[in-house]
Every structure is written in structure tokens, then in C-alpha cells.
Amino acid sequence: MTEKSQSETSLSSSSTPGSTRNLKESFLHRKLGDSSSSTRGSIHDFKDVSTAATVGPGRMGVGIAIALLLAGVRVYMLDAKERDPTEQEILWERVTAELREGVNSLAELGLLLKEDVEGALSRVSFHPNEQLEEIIGCREVGFVVESVPEIITAKETVLSRIGRSAHDGAIITSATSTFLTDDLARYLEHPEHFLNAHWLNPAFLIPLVELSPGSATDPAVTTATREFLQSIGKVPVVCAPSPGFIVPRIQALAMNEAARIVEEGIATAEDVDMACRVGFGIRFAVLGLLEFIDWGGCDVLYHASNYLQRALSAGERYAPPAIVEEHVNAGHSGGRGHGLFYRFEEHERVEYQREKLTAYVALLRHLDLLPHTSVG
Ligand SMILES: NC(=O)c1ccc[n+]([C@@H]2O[C@H](COP(=O)([O-])OP(=O)(O)OC[C@H]3O[C@@H](n4cnc5c(N)ncnc54)[C@H](O)[C@@H]3O)[C@@H](O)[C@H]2O)c1
């Protein structure tokens, strides 16, 4: 690497996916290094997190509980809403059925042995609203997930209760999709132990968890969270408190554009979705968007953006960002290892590209989409 740009720095601090074969050992990941364990003084060793609590047993609470159970973590599932006994019983029956169905289906798919299903389910227990303080205050609970509805008053009530009860070695996270960390952190007595951890649905399958520390979050807490999530097989990335994290922000643009194509009569929904699955999806399962910019050259994106902006009368929708414009205007077309985001020596570039092509072939083979060749 000839020079370390700011983008490289931020990427090097994340678990950059680079290969479908083994995300954590891709060329790019090895090259940029993983700074996740570089911060000293974690509040506790991630290996100590053997017990977690999820608060709000809805879709995310159940999905995250399954992810934790699969990894051998003991899970206390807490309700944070007052209910009469009948309502509570109905809730736990539903949650138990959902957990069992989720774990069973993963066993059927070969993710765990059928004989391990009961063992996984035996690690979960259910607790009503009244037990929240007692359970969260347990010394053994090292990781707390708040997953109550996206209603600020519900977040305020529940996070304040969690904050008052949690011990000083616990990591407290919110699964919120929209509230910024600093806005939620004000409800906690010790905001230094708190950060947003945005899981994607279904949480027990999608590897990504977007971590968003706030201005008060102790960096050691972010490190410990990252290490814990990695230890259960997740791929955490870190982003500043900003609306839409990384994926929802990019995804919303792509989804709106797909809907617009149908609205304008350009293609059918089926063809748009096929194009996304076998073109867009396959491409970006192997290469990150920024890797792809550098692969083709920044100038390609720059000219395509300007053309689309004019041709589609798209206003600012397609305008290239300043970072791209400046790179092109400075005469760096990119490509061939001299990208905007990544720099490679020639021998590194060859190894990197070979690894990417190998990953594409593996993915295409898995999807039964390999090109037809006449080679016998
Ligand atoms: N559903 C998704 O795809 C998704 C994805 C990522 C993040 N999230 C975020 O995860 C969080 C939970 O979302 P969800 O989809 O699991 O919601 P949900 O409605 O499925 O579950 C919420 C749970 O909280 C309980 N609850 C309801 N009102 C409450 C209150 N006033 N106080 C305490 N508990 C209450 C509900 O009974 C339910 O058990 C939200 O912040 C959401 O933005 C959701």
C-alpha cells in the first residue's frame, strides 16, 4: 500500500468483507489489517460474555436471541411491558414457538445437529416486566440488547431502566433502526457503556451488525462489542452516528430507483428483480461498492453519473460526490491499483483480482449460474 487515505483508515478499522469464500480472511482484509483488537483496556474480555439479555421479545428480540443461542450464549429474554398474566402467557407461548421454529429450521438446514436443538433452547429463559431490574443487574449479564418498538417514549423508559440496573461491566446496545446513539444515550446513567448495534433481519442469518458508538461511548466498549460479535460469527462494522447507518442508507436509494424503473415502464418488476439478483447482487456479494469503483476506475463512475444526471433529468439524484469529482479532476482515473479508496502494488493487485474472480466462480457455481463454455 503506497499511501493510507482516510477512507482506508476507516475501512481498516472494520471487518471488510472481501470474499464469499471466507469474509474474514480476504486479501483486502489481510492487507488492510484488522484493528479491532488494537484498543487496549476493554471493559472486559469478550470471552467473558457468556450471558446476554434481550429486552423486547418481538421480531428482532427473537432473531437476536436465536443468533446468541446458536453460539452457545445463555439468553435471558425480558419483556418490558406490563401485561396481565394471560397476556404474558400468550406472549411467551408465541415467543417459545418462534424460537423453536427458528432453531429447528436451522437444524434442518444443517447449521446445527438435530440433537443440539434442545440444548440450544435450554439456554433461554423468559422473564416478565417486573424482573427486568433484577435480571439486568445480574453480574453474569455481559451484553444487553434493547429491541422494543421504534417509539422514542418506549426507548426512553426501557433504556433508563436498563441503565439504572446494569452493572459496570455490561455492554448495553439498542437495535434501533433510526434513532441516533447520542439521542438514546441521554436516557442512560452511564452512556459510556452504550452504543447502537443494528442487526439485519433475519438476525440469526445475516452476518452484518452495524455498530454506531456515540460521542460518550467508551472506545473500549465498542472494541469489546465488536470482539463479542465476532466471537459468535457476526461481521461487525463501525459507523458514526448518522441516519441510516451504512446499509439502510445505500439500500433506500437502490430500492427507490428500482421502484422508479417500474413506475416509468422501463422494465417489469420481475426483470428488475432478476437484474438485481443475478447482476447487482452477485457483483456486490463479492466486491464492496467502493472496491468496485476502484476496480473499474473512478472516472467511469464520474462520467456515468454525469451522463445519467443529464439523460434522466435527475437533478442532484445522480450527482457524483466531491470526493469522486476531485479524484478525477486531479487526474487519477483509478483502476490498475491506483484507486480512490485502495492502493495496491502491481503484484498485490494481481493476487487480489484472482481471489475475487475465484469467489465469483464459487458463488456462481453455488447458484448454478456458471457461464456455459464449450471447453470439454
Ligand atoms: N423488524 C426489523 O426488520 C428491524 C430490523 C432492524 C432493526 N429493527 C429495530 O429493532 C427494534 C425492535 O423492532 P421489532 O421489529 O423487533 O419490533 P416488534 O414490534 O416486533 O417487537 C417489539 C417488542 O416490544 C414489545 N413492546 C411493545 N410496546 C412496548 C413498550 N411500550 N415497551 C416495551 N416493550 C414493548 C412488543 O410486545 C414486542 O415484544 C426497533 O427499534 C426496530 O427499529 C427492526
Within a domain: residue 1? no
Ligand 1 centre to CA of 250 (Å) is 23
What's the average model confidence in pLDDT over 347-358?
A: 92
pLDDT in tens, 12-50: 222 233 333 344 456 666 655 544 443 333 444 544 689
Could you list the residue range(s) of the whole structural domain that residue 49 is in? 39-238
Residue 222 shares a structural domain with residue 325: no
For the question of whether the overall pTM of this predicted structure is more than 0.85, the answer is yes
Residue 292 shares a structural domain with residue 353: yes
Residue 287 shares a structural domain with residue 161: no
Model confidence at 256, pLDDT cuts 50, 70, 90, reads very high
Within a domain: residue 373? no
Residue 45 shares a structural domain with residue 107: yes
Residue 339 is predicted with a pLDDT of 86
Within a domain: residue 375? no
- Residue 172, classed as helix, strand or coil, is strand
Nearest atom within ligand 1 for CA of residue 60? 16
Residue 47 shares a structural domain with residue 168: yes
- For the chain, the domain total comes to 2
Residue 20 shares a structural domain with residue 68: no
- Domain end: 208, 238, 268, which one? 238
Residue 344 is predicted with a pLDDT of 81
Mutate to test the pocket of ligand 1, among 144, 145, 147 (most ligand atoms within 8 A of CB): 147
Reply yes or no on whether the pLDDT at 143 is more than 80.
yes
| Residue 309, φ and ψ in degrees, nearest 5 | -60, -45
Strands of 124-127's sheet in order across: 124-127, 74-78, 51-55, 143-146, 171-174, 194-199, 208-213, 235-238
Residue 21 shares a structural domain with residue 75: no
Ligand 1 centre to CA of 221 (Å) is 24
- Domain end: 238, 267, 297, which one? 238
Residue 198: give its domain's CATH number. 3.40.50.720
Nearest atom within ligand 1 for CA of residue 79? 34
Question: Cβ distance 148 to 174 under 8 Å?
Answer: no
- Domain end: 219, 238, 257, which one? 238
Residue 163 shares a structural domain with residue 293: no
Mutate to test the pocket of ligand 1, among 64, 81, 198 (most ligand atoms within 8 A of CB): 81
Ligand 1 centre to CA of 10 (Å) is 31
Dihedral sign of CA atoms 303, 306, 310, 313 in order: positive
Residue 355 shares a structural domain with residue 293: yes
Residue 328: give its domain's CATH number. 1.10.1040
Measured from CB, residues less than 6 Å from any atom of ligand 1 are 56-61, 80-81, 147-150, 154, 158, 175-177, 198-199, 201
